[in-house]
Amino acid sequence: MASVVRFAPSPTGRLHVGNIRAALTNYLFARKAGGKFLLRLDDTDTERSTEENAQGIYADLAWLGLKHDLFAKQSERTASYEAASEKLRAAGRLYPCYETADELDRRRKRQLAQHKPPIYDRAALNLTAEQRAAFEAQGRKPHWRFKVSGKSVEFNDLIRGPVHIETSSLSDPVLIREDGRFLYTLPSVVDDIDFNITHIIRGEDHVTNTGVQIEIFEALGAAIPIFAHFSMLIGAGGEALSKRLGSLSIEGLRADGLEPMAINSLLAKLGTSDPVVARASLDELVADFDLAKFSRAPAHFDPNDLKTLNHKLLHAMSFDGVSSALARLGVGGGAPFWETVRDNIQLLSEARDWWHVVEGPIDPVIEDAGLAASARELLPNGPFTDATWTEWTSAVSAKTGAKGKALFRPLRMALTGQTHGPEMKKLLPLIGPERAAKRLSGQAA
């Protein structure tokens, strides 16, 4: 059977690096195995799910190149969940509970005060038919819990190895709310069954959930998928990253000018034994993907690494690969300009700053008026070439005696207004004779 994996975001917000790491890992696994990648919107939370967020998810995945083969929305699959819940009721694994949220909270507090684990005590299982009818007469509607077996659930995790979950330490999870809406757990399992999901690859924060989900698979008479739980992302210094993920949305990173393959290249390797290398295509990431390379150690995420990878990608990009994006930024100069500045930018948007340096007007900085005047007098006539800078500065040095930093820094400052930047032998021809002469005279040009 071909492998089928899934990425199941909730359209309650925009995707962030943690979400995309899960999406990318599943995508790479599917492509390496020759299988299929399902995008499933877990939109059972009708109060928080929005179409705007759904469209944002589609846009983010498309920008990153993560194309899905299958698609589903949980909001359109209610009949399947109803059928599964009826099967669980008939098997005695789904039972009604009438406690209010306040009653459950008070019960948990009493358990904690008595140094007992705050798990549901299954009081609802002892209700008589008359008691249930009385609650119904009061207007109470039940929520429905899944009765776990209390046994040890064991599975072999492709990353963590053998895992044992003692369900006796777990509360019977609520699968259906009082208003009839399904919570995450049951729809997720039913979808995994109906779409023949073979591998569930996700973060280690879901390990405990797996014990309950395996029991639901079994109760529904379905085959159990293979599980793999990768380590969570933490900050570069070991700090928790979860509170910072809002500032690391894919939408925000895209707005910052990062290339999609910089994000993919980093997230594909975090938590693995492979070095992080800037890759130009997803196919390159697919070629060396292997779950066996994943470690149980936390994965350190440093946003600065994205800029480093971005710089390396831009350095390797031909003009043809960026021409459209440069045009959208209002940057001209063609291939000569791109080949001049690409080594000096971390983000593509920074090319616009250097185009302004070329086109002007800029305010020149005259650090040595005498040197600038001599340099202006010695400017060659006619178009500048790659050889002009070397020939010209040699002449200026011979006349003024200035050498090294005392020669090159004042000329760069006068011509660009900057202390650093691309090679002047490439930049000077783009600036041209007319602007160069004006800037050496101290005029804005």
Residues of the chain with pLDDT under 50: none
Q: How far apart are CA 155 and CA 217, in angstroms?
A: 13
**Amino acid residing at 329:** L
How much is the pLDDT for 11? 95
Residue 167 and residue 215 in contact, taking contact as beta carbons nearer than 8 Å: yes
Q: Is 65 left (phi over 0), alpha (psi -120 to 50) or beta?
A: left
Q: How far apart are CA 258 and CA 314, in angstroms?
A: 10
β-pair partners for 434: none
Residue 390 and residue 429 in contact, taking contact as beta carbons nearer than 8 Å: no
Residue 164 and residue 153 in contact, taking contact as beta carbons nearer than 8 Å: yes
Pairing of strands 161-166, 226-230: unpaired
How much is the pLDDT for 240? 79
| Ranges of H-type helices in 159-281 | 185-194, 207-219, 250-255, 260-269
Tokens of 111: 């358990």
Question: Which domains, ranges and CATH numbers included, belong to the chain?
Answer: 4-74+185-234 (3.40.50.620), 80-176 (3.90.800.10), 235-315 (1.10.1160.10), 317-359 (no CATH), 369-440 (1.10.10.350)
Distances (CA, A) of 177 to 11, 78, 97, 137, 145: 20, 14, 10, 18, 9
- Please give the DSSP secondary-structure letter assigned to residue 16: B
How much is the pLDDT for 244? 60
Residue 146 and residue 94 in contact, taking contact as beta carbons nearer than 8 Å: yes
Distances (CA, A) of 373 to 403, 433, 436: 16, 15, 12
Q: How far apart are CA 360 and CA 435, in angstroms?
A: 8
pLDDT tens digits, residue range 144-171? 999 999 999 999 999 999 999 999 999 9
As a residue count, the chain comes to 445
Q: How far apart are CA 328 and CA 437, in angstroms?
A: 30
Q: How far apart are CA 87 and CA 217, in angstroms?
A: 12
Sign of the torsion angle spanned by Cα atoms 291, 296, 302, 308:
negative
pLDDT tens digits, residue range 84-109? 999 999 999 999 999 999 999 999 99
- Decide: helix, strand or coil at residue 300: strand
| CB contact set of 437 (below 8 Å; sequence gap of 6+) | 376, 379
Minimal CA–CA distance to 23: which of 258, 203, 283? 203
How much is the pLDDT for 239? 82
How much is the pLDDT for 115? 86
Pairing of strands 226-230, 199-203: parallel
Residue bearing tokens 């070095």: 275
Residue 428 and residue 384 in contact, taking contact as beta carbons nearer than 8 Å: yes
Residue bearing tokens 């185009």: 355
Q: How far apart are CA 37 and CA 23, in angstroms?
A: 9
Q: How far apart are CA 203 and CA 267, in angstroms?
A: 13
How much is the pLDDT for 247? 66
Question: pTM of the prediction?
Answer: 0.89
β-pair partners for 97: 143
β-pair partners for 230: 203
Minimal CA–CA distance to 276: which of 313, 241, 243, 249? 313
How much is the pLDDT for 347? 92
Residue 343 and residue 426 in contact, taking contact as beta carbons nearer than 8 Å: no
The enclosing H or E element of 434 equals: helix 424-440
Q: How far apart are CA 303 and CA 301, in angstroms?
A: 6
CA geometry: angle at 189 spanning 173 and 50, to 5°? 85
